[in-house]
Structure 1
């Protein structure tokens, strides 16, 4: 039976802006208050999706969230019409309006953790939306994310959907940004690497001191239980606290895997040598490729600035792997030199493809942040909502949709404009028809 790995990218929402909301994310903080371009952002994302589709990859689309989130603003004490709620928040609590207007759901690596049917006890694909409890603006996402995933993967025979974990720091869950699966083939049982920042119930264990550890061991263990994994195919790994304090807020900023390849920085994990030994033991055969980047080759700060590891590694139709990298990697001399040399080493990685995703990069998210990976059998892929899979037709439809509904610049003053909410709802209403999602947003109820 043939298996593929589908990449579901998040569409950038109409309120894409630079509010600097993500403490611990250096790029997000450095670009706070800059003027954004939502139309350029969504088109950059669409161009990457279409390019991967044209390369023969299975590429899907995830809808954005409804923003501004006037329902949350009402819970926080603002009242009146939607326009009055927005205007009150803009005047009295601008930080709350910015948080409730965030388009952060574009980074769908944080949407959920996904375990393919080859790994799970009931042989279904399992989804658990991430609660994203560490950041207020992202904690508003999981309920709608769950609805979107259920409409795309709508077959109880093939898919199992779980409620997100309790909204508490004890179970802080950042989704697939801290999860990597290694396997000899997408359809064979693999090992799932759950990377956490801290032990929430054992404060004697190492933890970062400058920036928050967003993901806990307890969350990793809970998701593994929900997905029906066992000791042979789940491995819990602590991220190096020192690199979190340098700005590596998720593991996918310092390591990325695909198939039988793990591409990681030597400082990525706590007790790295023991972690690698355990990965080798669980993987169980000599086909595993471990590509360790030394600090002398690329420093942690160079990796953060270029997003060397926040790249996608994809398996092409001919079996060769390629890295999908942001253009920042090409513009950074040390990183470009490393990647140019990497493809000559005889590893499965044979090509580097560079993409312009600057609107996302300036807010702290590279190519790997923009996609959720879902390994699927032929039958499972056939059960997916086909309207959410990229095609020439859908690409043209979504570009026309963006031209019609998206602004070409957005500042804080624009967030306070009630017309933006109307524009956003009109955009999302049209999108749900195009993607055959039904009524997934509150305003559609």
Structure 2
């Protein structure tokens, strides 16, 4: 399954990417500034070292400076690495003295006071007042680059730690910022044909209020359309009941007067059609009531007494007198905050569905078990699992040849959900290889 696009993920990556770019830019700018500052510091140190060494040389404080017998003599009292090297030269350019790490050949710069650059060194030339003796101190450019790189690396290490910390901080901030969006999403997801109340907008941020207002406008239009549909369905079904009942009565009277034959058989077909039409009109009225919203109420009612009356009515009926098997577990209790009319509609639809779609004249078991779940079980071939969910859709019938209208289970499911319960469909019946079971579980 393809994952949907996320708002938080691109936001986090963009913010962290921008932070890294800004940090790297700051490091780059710092490197430029540090390089200039380091050059000034190194140049100052190089100049100061040259001038002090020149004083020592010119005052003959070191015995080997002017009396050295060997030209280019090396002097060093330590084995440590030297960052500044120097050469002492005569005015004619002759090398008379150099430090340990200084090159053996004179620096390739003229004997003029000031700074000069070679390919490897930054050189400062100092001269005595009579310009007979020159001291050239040099600093390797590699030392300066090393100092800059070490400083840059020191600034890069915090970036490595900053990225995961920033990810966590940005994620927390984004999660907190997404709270109103999640609240709005949850509020919208709770809306259905049984709950079309407006979405609350007062506590939403200004950026989300237009979305909530648009949703409320859409809900208002949907509510108006559903109200018009329910009103039309209820009015149509109500207006049809009287003429259907009158036509059915006239047809039954005509049946009583007609002699046996083809005409009487046709009249029986008319009677069956009118009976089915009357049943459909009754279902449409129930559907309109279910769509209007009924089910839960504030006061508790003992639904077992209601169920007793409903089952007794079916047991007295000539069509189902020998089919209903009613069992109530001793520990069962059905005291619920449920409207008794709504509960009666649900149970009548479930039992009627069992008589219509179950095995003809087969037993129908109405069972309230120990867990207070209400189970209506009928015999018959097992139904494919894929078809069970479709039974809760309006006008869907498992067998088109049966006389049902395809509204019983959808009406029952809708009202049970309004009660806060669930309607479960099982086929085959658990523990058996055939049959159909409708199970109602109502909250206590």
Bin of the TM-score, shorter chain as denominator length: under 0.3
Greater RCO structure (CA 8 Å; 6+ sep)? 1
Structure index of larger Rg: 2
More helix by share: 2
Give the structure-1-normalised TM-score.
Answer: 0.22
TM (normalized to structure 2)? 0.22
